[in-house]
Structure 1
Amino acid sequence: MTTNAVLGNGRVGGNLAAANNLLAHDLDGTGPMLVAVHGITENRSFWNPVRLQQHFRVLRVDLRGHGDSPRTSPFGIDESVEDIHHLIESLGEGQSPFVVGHSLGGVIATAYAARYPTRGVVNVDQSLRVGPLPAELVATVRGEGFADFVRTLFAQLYGELDPELAADIERRRAVDQEVFSGFWTPLLDWDADTLAAWSRRTTSLPPDVPYLSLHGTDPGGDYTDWLTHRIPGAVVEQAPKHTHYPHLAQPEWFASRVHQFFSA
């Protein structure tokens, strides 16, 4: 079986969702609801190899501007939180979800738990410690150097990921400068004080929400101390393989770890 066949396209029901101004999504499995949130430039099909539906009723979404979801500005983290909550309410599930997010999705998962009742969060390889970007980098992201910047950025993140899988991700990601810049607005446009205040709000989770920060790359030697100061009780772990995509590098292991963490 080829890597492309493993990942599939996962795009079912997108037109109906768009017509109802909801995020494109699919819902599969039995058990408590778990929302799976993809990274920037990706879509819900990137979760296909991770069989979380063995343990959960899995709601996979395409963020706005991604996959089959409406391309409606503004594109951003706070907007995505509201999109996801609106979708959950429309489904009438009647329960607070677990939320798992990769990369940008890890920030959105965290922000969701800070705003709405959530049973637990797994943040996959996304540091929450951020600061404003230098002016020259802002100009690159906003300007003609954007495509080269994105290629270089992602090339640095594959690490120990199987080269065939890395190449498939590269082929299938959709890079849109307006969407990308929109989600990066806090880093591109906000001053340090505004960004810091937003970061504190985003990490102000209720103390009883289990939180796992699972890293395939190094978040920094003092990151555990920083995160547990923000989110007391947070667990910081290193995945077995060094890559920004630990959930794709070892999908069975990842699904088992998520189930174990949420069952503790």
Structure 2
Amino acid sequence: MEKRTLSRDGTRIAYESTGRGPAVVLVSGAMSTGAAVAPLAAELSDRFEVTVYDRRGRGASGDTAPFAVEREVEDLAALIEAVGGEASLYGVSSGGALVLRAAASGLPVARVAVYEVPYAMDDAAARAAAEYTGRLAEALGQGRRGDAVELFLRLTGLGEEMIRGARQSPMWAGMESLAPSLAYDDAAMGDSRVPRSELASVTAPLLALAGGASPEWMREAARAIAEAAPRGTYRTLEGQSHVVEPGVLAPVLADFFAN
């Protein structure tokens, strides 16, 4: 990350901007830095000034205790100010939950797009999310970063054999370094349900996306997001899963942001 801006609490937030045009800020999900959305930024940079950043507690950005979701919203406020005072936002997975919180807070957001925010769509999923929250807090509180990463990987549906393999991989140390930020993503998800009352206050046009190859509940969550927002629209990207291809996603976002 080449640039820095200061959030309201003094935390340094590292970011990088590319391209020219209306400002767009991309927000990554759990267990990732701004590098995760850099390929999408490259696809959009011919029409927009696209900013990617390391969320607090990750990569080249700092962190300041105590954490609250409001601090991450303030990080986005600082970035929007740095890129001209207004921007469209895109967030993937739990990063999308943060984007929705930011849009509902009244930040100067032109347009909002999210991809597969994993909100719980039934009671069983909500109970599983609540159990994850408790066990994650316990693991992190005891300094068991590896166990915290395992909890997250299980939540995403990864099998035990694959988790054991991940523990032996060269990437594991980097994953453990990001483990404390799992609590930040979990906080952004709120009570795990679609935040309909908050979404009702989002005045900007909103696009909720999901992949046609993803589980049906992902599409249900995206539809619910769109239905709860006054200017919400839902769209399925056929053939796409939770790891969406930048070349497929970028044209859809470009048309939406340029409108």
- TM-score, length basis structure 1: 0.72
State the 1:66 CA deviation. 1.2
1:137 aligns with 2:128: no
State the 1:46 CA deviation. 1.2
* Counterpart residue number, 2:31: 41
- TM-score, length basis structure 2: 0.74
- Cα 1:259–1:229 shift into 2, 3 Å: closer
Identity of aligned residues (%): 21
State the 1:172 CA deviation. 6.0
Q: Which has the higher strand share?
A: 2
| CA-to-aligned-CA distance 1:234-261 (integer Å, 9 cap, x gap) | 1222223342121xxx212211110112
* Counterpart residue number, 1:218: 215
| Counterpart pick for 2:84 among 73, 76, 93 | 93
3-state SS of 2:230 partner: coil
- Cα 1:171–1:219 shift into 2, 3 Å: farther
- Cα 1:168–1:178 shift into 2, 3 Å: closer
Q: How does 1:8-157 map to 2 (within 5 A)?
A: 11-13=1-3, 21-50=11-40, 51=42, 52-89=44-81, 91=82, 93-94=84-85, 96-115=86-105, 116-128=107-119, 131=126, 133=128, 136-141=131-136, 142-143=138-139, 145-154=147-156, 156=158
| Counterpart pick for 1:238 among 221, 236, 239 | 236
Task: Give the length in aligned residue pairs.
Answer: 231
- Cα 1:227–1:84 shift into 2, 3 Å: closer
1: CA distance between counterparts of 2:68 and 2:13? 14
C-alpha RMSD of the superposition: 3.3
* Counterpart residue number, 1:258: 253
- Cα 1:245–1:87 shift into 2, 3 Å: same
Mapped contact 1:99–1:121 kept (Cα < 8 A): yes
3-state SS of 1:241 partner: coil
Structure 1: which amino acid aligns with 2:200?
S
2: CA distance between counterparts of 1:175 and 1:238? 34
Mapped contact 1:75–1:183 kept (Cα < 8 A): no
Q: How does 1:166-245 map to 2 (within 5 A)?
A: 173=175, 175-185=177-187, 199-200=195-196, 202-207=198-203, 209-216=204-211, 217-218=214-215, 220=217, 222-223=220-221, 226-245=224-243
2: CA distance between counterparts of 1:136 and 1:104? 17
Mapped contact 1:106–1:123 kept (Cα < 8 A): yes
3-state SS of 1:49 partner: helix
